[in-house]
Amino acid sequence: MADQNHSVSPVRDGMLTYCYLLLYIALSSGQIFFNKWVLSSKEINFPYPLGLTLLHMIFSSVLCFVLTKVLKILKVEEGMTLEIYTTSVIPIGAMFAMTLWLGNTAYLYISVAFAQMLKAVMPVAVFILGVAAGLEVMSMRMLLIMSVISFGVLVASYGEININWIGVVYQMGGVVGEALRLIFMEIFVRKKGLKLNPISMMYYVSPCSALCLLVPWIFLEKPKMDAQGTWNFQPLVLTLNSMCTFALNLSVFLVIQHTSALTIRVAGVVKDWVVVLLSAILFADTKLTLINIFGYAIAIGGVAAYNNFKLKKEATRAASSDNSSSSSPIPTASSSTKASS
């Protein structure tokens, strides 16, 4: 009986992992299409990316507060100080706001598929900024990988039939914002030594992001909305859209918590292909060409090589830290050589 339970447990865990991954892929892909529909469809007629993103962050802030402080279903982790908040949480919140704002704005000008192709350049931005921040080291191998990704994105862009450079600028701005957010997150965890659960992270970051979005919204989009006379606001659709965004943010952390770093990166690549191919079916403004697909395949190959390199580096770092903690405090010549390499 014990053996039977033992054999059932890995199968159940495996099924649970696949469920988490499918949830992440479905929510992530669905949210992209949902945002595109809300922003560009004639039925909803809500072409205000700043307003939509601000609504998401306000909804997330209120829901986190209700869940943690009113209903007390979930707990906010302790350890947050004013110094950590001002030096880490505020920059992360600001970059998160910038990423969502610029990324959503890009959907007004370019297709979902092309926006997704441009996102493939993310590792290049993360690596360059990581080198500038002293978190990454330049090497010939990484330079080659970055060149492959950049070349793939350039080929995909060359194959785009209806290219709109305003949309490209917005999307690349979103990529830079996301890269900066990831850099700040790494500094937050590595140097501050504070790890927060998903709800705690959203509890602290969402209000900050909302405040960062409120100021530009007042000056850039509120006058346009006021000029319409009455705000074209569909509460049910926008509330559902906000709920999906909140669920997506939670699912990302949930997948990371219950799977490996490799799994989430592979799932991300699968999600990207799902979005590109489905958008060609769902949206009239998406016309994929062979050059598009060929360039994107090259870029994804470079992204896969980057992920593999990063995972091996993280595994080596973890192994070396385990060895150093179990070894004697007196350094030897071999250990110092290993550390320097």
pLDDT tens-place string over residues 252-265: 767 766 666 556 66
Cα separation of 320 and 312, whole Å? 12
The number of CA neighbours under 13 Å toward the Cβ of 85 is 14
CB distance 269 to 122 below 8 Å = no
| Cβ contact 271:99 at 8 Å | no
Nearest Cα to Cα of residue 151 among 303, 310, 308: 303
Percent of the chain with pLDDT over 90: 35
pLDDT recorded at residue 311: 77
pLDDT grade for 200, boundaries at 50, 70 and 90: confident
Q: How far is residue 312's CA from residue 40's CA, in Å, rounded to a whole number?
A: 42
Rounded Cα gap, residues 197 and 202, in angstroms: 9
pLDDT of residue 33: 92
Which amino acid would we find at residue 338?
K
Which residue is it, tokens 């307003």? 51
Give pLDDT tens digits for 32-46. Answer: 999 999 988 777 878
pLDDT of residue 304: 86
